[in-house]
A = this chain, B = another copy of it.
Amino acid sequence: MSEKAAKTALTPSTHTTPPAKFSHGVRKGNILQVAGQVGFAPAVPGEAPTPVGPGLREQTLRTFANVEAILREGGASWEDVVMIRVYLTDTAHFAEFNEIYNEFFADLTEAPAARTTVYVGLPAGLLVEIDALAVLG
């Protein structure tokens, strides 16, 4: 019964091939880890990924969609997420970010994930990066 759990890379069709030797998400056993996602528009073959619009709302919603695509690829949903790490670039964005966050997660039926929000540097043009840890039931 000590069968080795498979480790699976999660690569949704909306995502570009990762720019380095990492996976957009990984599932192993009941643990699913989503890599740091940003507000890139769905991948266009042959083109470099570009963030949607310059605003926090648009980027955040796109980032959520990118996280969600990886969760689904691994057979999970937001309901399975236990931790969301939020990286913003400006403390002045906190209130608006929370508004967007609350709207997005308004319909959760299970306990919302824990969250840590810190303010870091991100590549030019990016206002938000999010990763997530899910534990499947």
Contact = CB atoms under 8 A, between A and B. Distances in A.
Interface string A17-28: 011111111101
A110 B23 CA distance: 11
A40 B46 CA distance: 40
B123 A120 contact: no
B83 A26 contact: yes
A88 to B, nearest CB: 9
A22 B118 contact: no
A48 interface: no
Candidate in A20, A29, A114 with the most chain B CB atoms within 10 angstroms: A114
Copies in the complex: 3
Interface residues of A, number: 58
A113 interface: yes
A118 B116 contact: no
A118 B115 CA distance: 17
Given A33-B133, A82-B31, A137-B5, A118 B21 contact: no
23 contacts: A5-B137, A7-B80, A18-B112, A20-B115, A21-B105, A22-B115, A23-B111, A23-B115, A26-B83, A26-B112, A26-B114, A28-B135, A29-B30, A29-B137, A33-B83, A35-B115, A36-B116, A36-B117, A36-B118, A87-B118, A91-B121, A120-B120, A120-B121
